[in-house]
């Protein structure tokens, strides 16, 4: 599912474009370990493949992250979700939404797609159980009309997992 | 005989203390063990200091036949690579100088190295383009550092972010609180304007940004996300050109003298040279100004460069802008000569997505 359907997406600002092109070049020169960018001609939506680190519950499993950039990136955080099927994880809902503070309230414009990826991989790596969040069904039902996770008022689970 | 050597070492430690005074924290006289905080030679010009380091020097009883160990306790403005470079340099210097007494020389060597490294390094964390382009003659983007952590940004980039932050604060305050509380809230927020460094989240005071905000003060009403003209105007503003020339002069001096800077007659470098001159404003004047008055009088609204901090439109934001302006004015009224009042109405520069919490 694509949850960006709600508000019509605005084109990237020139600043966002410059910054994303720079990120893309840097990614190509020095991609973060465990990640692969699926090349498209769409700068505003990246699809990134992530492979679980060896020695973790997700070892050798591959998932796809979809990163959508807002007009005012990097002032505003990108929208990051897992494409179906999302990994089983206490902070990842079955619709792909991720409960991770840096994607919402704790976003900083100094973060990059690469640093987001690293945070998500580390979130996966530190998990000790493969299960959905407790409120998964309720949450997913509430999002049925294509709501973006950025529109959710997140309360953050403890960060032990 | 052993005692005599020990006395020499103790005397050397005393010399270090005498030279560095409070910058030296002595943990033990013999065998010597101390922390020393070091700044580049340009450090008396605070706006031109981009690095600093605290070294730990610990010697064994065999010192100086055996070189002391040198570690980095703390530093600012140095990435991992430059930290390593600094340490390796001092450590190899220590081996080179052994078996002579070397404590003061080591510290001086570190100062020398820091002076040579006294420039921002790498890319702007916000736009990812180099802070200092190779070719200084080209139209370089001016940069600045946050005083609390020494993280550097292009001035333009950090201002854009700051203004974004201010306008989002206003937005969220408007949706979060009831109208009665709103103004109080906003008022309070603007009064203790504190930001967090985008890189390390260390808090900094809004006044850290004053000297760059002053630069864009007169352009702020035209500032928009991607307006090239504004950037050009900013880059070509007189203040900025002077600032850049001074920086380049210092950088060149630094290169010529490998960090040792003696003021040349024709270049006057003063501490805080980018900072506006403080002007005392009678406090009675400030408290008597009412918001209504300011709203009716556009020149009052943009005075004191407060327009640079907050650029949002709408009646709900005028109060913060005024309080921000007043606060800044109270602290310092900058470069009155260049405070060209811009009577044009500020234009909303960020288009925010609808907050879905409204729709519920
Ligand atoms: Zn920048
Ligand atoms: Zn910082």
**Per-residue pLDDT reduced to its tens digit, B20-63:** 999 999 999 999 999 999 999 876 677 778 999 999 999 999 99
Helix (H) or strand (E) holding A115: helix A113-125
| A13 contact residues in B (CB cutoff 8 A) | 225-226
B96 CA → ligand 1 middle, Å? 41
Q: How much is the mean pLDDT over chain B?
A: 67
Looking at beta carbons, which residues of chain A come within 8 Å of B356? 6, 147, 151
**Which of the residue ranges A124-128, B291-295, B329-333 has the most confident prediction, judged by mean pLDDT?**
A124-128
Residue B269 tokens, joined: 């470098």
- How confident is the model at residue A38, as a pLDDT? 84
Dihedral pair phi/psi, residue B125, rounded to 5°: -65, -15
B285 vs B351, which has greater pLDDT?
A: B285
- List, in sequence order, every beta strand (DSSP E) within A20-157: 35-38, 45-51, 62-68, 79-82
Residue B31 confidence (pLDDT): 94
A149 to A89, B3, B147, B316: CA distances (angstroms)? 16, 72, 36, 29
Q: Can you tell me the mean pLDDT for B145-169?
A: 87
Res. B204: pLDDT tops 70 = yes
- Who's near B86: CB < 8 A, 6+ residues apart? B53, B72, B75, B78, B110, B113, B114, B117
Which residues of A are known to be catalytic?
Answer: 99
pLDDT exceeds 80 at position B152 = yes
Q: CB–CB of B128 and A26 under 8 A?
A: yes
The answer for residues whose C-beta is within 8 angstroms of residue A95's C-beta and 6 or more apart is A1, A3, A81, A86, A139, A140, A143
Cα dihedral angle (B263, B266, B270, B276), rounded to 10 degrees?
A: -160
Residue B83 has pLDDT above 80, yes or no: yes
Distance CA B218, CA B198 (A): 25
Token digits of residue B6: 């020990």
**pLDDT classification of B137: cutoffs 50, 70, 90:** low
Distances (CA, A) of A96 to A49, A80, A91, B108: 14, 9, 10, 57
CB pairs under 8 A between A and B: 49
pLDDT of residue B145: 86
Ligand (nearest to CA of B198): 2
Return all residues near B192 (Cβ < 8 A) that are at least 6 apart.
none
What mean pLDDT value characterizes chain A?
88
The chain B residue lying nearest A147, using CA atoms, is: B356
The answer to whether the bond into A85 is cis (omega within 30° of 0) is: yes
Q: List the single best residue of A13, A15, A147 to mutate versus B (max B Cβ within 10 A).
A: A15
- C-alpha to C-alpha distance for B303 and B282, rounded to whole angstroms: 16
Q: How far is CA B97 from CA A115, B67, B100, B113, B260, in A?
A: 43, 8, 6, 17, 22
Query: Cis omega before residue B242 (within 30°)?
Result: no
d(CA B321, CA B314): 11
Spatial contact of A93 and A136, defined as CB atoms under 8 Å apart:
yes
Name the B residues in 154-183 with CB < 8 Å from any A CB.
160-161, 164
Q: Among residues 93-152 of chain B, which lie with CB inside 8 Å of chain A?
A: 125-129
Nearest residue, CB atoms, B198 vs list A7, A22, A108: A108
Per-residue confidence (pLDDT) for residue B272, from 0 to 100: 37
Residue B11 pLDDT grade (very low, low, confident, very high; cuts 50, 70, 90): very high
Taking CB atoms and an 8 Å cutoff, what residues of chain A touch B350?
Answer: 72, 75
The whole-angstrom distance between B121's CA and the closest CA on chain A is 16
pLDDT score recorded for residue B360: 38
* Closest ligand relative to B76 C-alpha: 2
Q: What is the per-residue pLDDT for A79? A: 96
* Tokens encoding B190: 């603007």
- Kindly list the residues from chain A whose CB atom is less than 8 angstroms away from the CB atom of residue B149: none
| CA geometry: angle A34, A38, A39, nearest 5 deg | 135
Q: How far is the CA of B130 from the centre of ligand 1 (A)?
A: 8
Hey, which residues does A62 pair with through a beta bridge?
Answer: A51
Per-residue pLDDT reduced to its tens digit, B168-192? 777 666 654 444 444 444 444 444 5
Compute the nearest-CA separation of B225 from chain A (Å): 7
Instruction: Find out whether B326 and B306 touch, Cβ atoms under 8 Å.
Output: yes
- C-beta neighbour count of B285 within 10 angstroms: 11
CA dihedral B162→B163→B168→B171, nearest 10 degrees, is 150
CA distance A147 to chain B (A): 9
CA atoms of B287 and B247, how far apart (whole Å): 39
- Does pTM top 0.90 for this prediction? no
Check: CB of residue B141 under 8 Å from CB of residue B156.
yes
When pLDDT is averaged across residues B12-18 and rounded to a whole number, the result is: 94
Inter-residue contact B321 to B303 (CB < 8 Å): no
CA distance B187 to B192: 9
Which range among A77-91, B197-211, B250-264 has the greatest average pLDDT? A77-91
Q: Which residues pair with A68 in a beta bridge?
A: A45, A79
**Do B128 and A23 lie within an 8 Å CB cutoff?**
yes
Q: What does chain B come to in residues?
A: 360
């Amino acid at each position: 599912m694509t949850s960006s359907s709600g508000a019509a997406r605005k084109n990237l600002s020139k600043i966002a474009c410059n910054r994303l092109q720079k990120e893309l070049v840097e990614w190509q020169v020095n991609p973060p370990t465990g990640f692969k960018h699926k090349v498209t001609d769409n700068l505003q939506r990246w699809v990134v493949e992530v492979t679980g680190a060896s020695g973790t519950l997700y070892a050798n499993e591959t998932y796809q992250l979809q990163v959508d950039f807002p007009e005012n990136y990097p002032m505003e955080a990108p929208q990051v979700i897992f494409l179906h099927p999302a990994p089983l994880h206490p902070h990842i809902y079955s619709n792909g939404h991720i409960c991770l503070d840096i994607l919402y309230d704790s976003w900083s414009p100094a973060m990059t797609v690469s640093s987001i990826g690293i945070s998500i991989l580390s979130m996966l790596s530190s998990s000790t159980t493969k299960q959905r969040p407790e409120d998964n069904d309720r949450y997913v039902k509430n999002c049925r009309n294509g709501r973006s996770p950025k529109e959710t008022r997140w309360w953050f689970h403890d960060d032990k997992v | 005989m052993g005692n005599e050597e020990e006395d020499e070492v103790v005397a050397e430690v005393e010399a270090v203390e005498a030279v560095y005074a409070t910058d030296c924290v002595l943990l033990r006289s013999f065998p010597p063990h101390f922390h020393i905080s070091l700044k580049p030679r340009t450090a008396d010009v605070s706006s031109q200091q981009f690095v600093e380091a605290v070294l730990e020097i610990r010697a064994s009883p065999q010192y100086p036949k055996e070189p002391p160990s040198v570690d980095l306790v703390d530093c600012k403005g140095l990435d991992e690579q430059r930290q390593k470079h600094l340490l390796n340099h001092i450590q190899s210097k220590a081996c080179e100088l052994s078996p002579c007494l070397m404590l003061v020389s080591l510290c001086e060597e570190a100062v020398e190295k820091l002076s040579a490294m006294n420039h921002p390094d790498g890319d702007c964390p916000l736009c990812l383009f180099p802070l200092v382009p190779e070719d200084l003659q080209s139209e370089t983007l001016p940069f600045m550092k946050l005083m609390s952590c020494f993280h550097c940004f292009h001035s333009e980039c950090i201002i854009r972010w700051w203004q974004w932050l201010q306008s989002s604060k206003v937005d969220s305050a408007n949706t979060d609180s009831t109208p009665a509380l709103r103004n109080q809230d906003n008022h309070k927020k603007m009064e203790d304007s504190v930001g967090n460094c985008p890189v390390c989240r260390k808090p900094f005071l809004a006044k850290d940004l004053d000297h760059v905000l002053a630069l864009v003060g007169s352009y702020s009403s035209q500032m928009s996300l991607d307006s090239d003209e504004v950037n050009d105007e900013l880059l070509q503003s007189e203040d900025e050109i002077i600032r850049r020339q001074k920086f380049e002069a210092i950088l060149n001096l630094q290169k010529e003298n490998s960090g040792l800077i003696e003021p040349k007659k024709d270049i006057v470098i003063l501490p805080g040279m980018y900072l506006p001159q403080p002007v005392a404003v009678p406090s009675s004047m400030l408290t008597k100004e009412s918001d209504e008055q300011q709203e009716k009088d556009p020149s009052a609204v943009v005075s004191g460069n407060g327009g640079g901090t907050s650029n949002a439109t709408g009646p709900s934001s005028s109060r913060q802008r005024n309080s921000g302006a007043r606060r800044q004015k109270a602290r310092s009224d900058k470069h009155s000569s260049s405070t060209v009042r811009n009577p044009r109405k500020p234009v909303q520069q960020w288009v925010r997505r609808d907050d879905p919490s409204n729709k519920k």
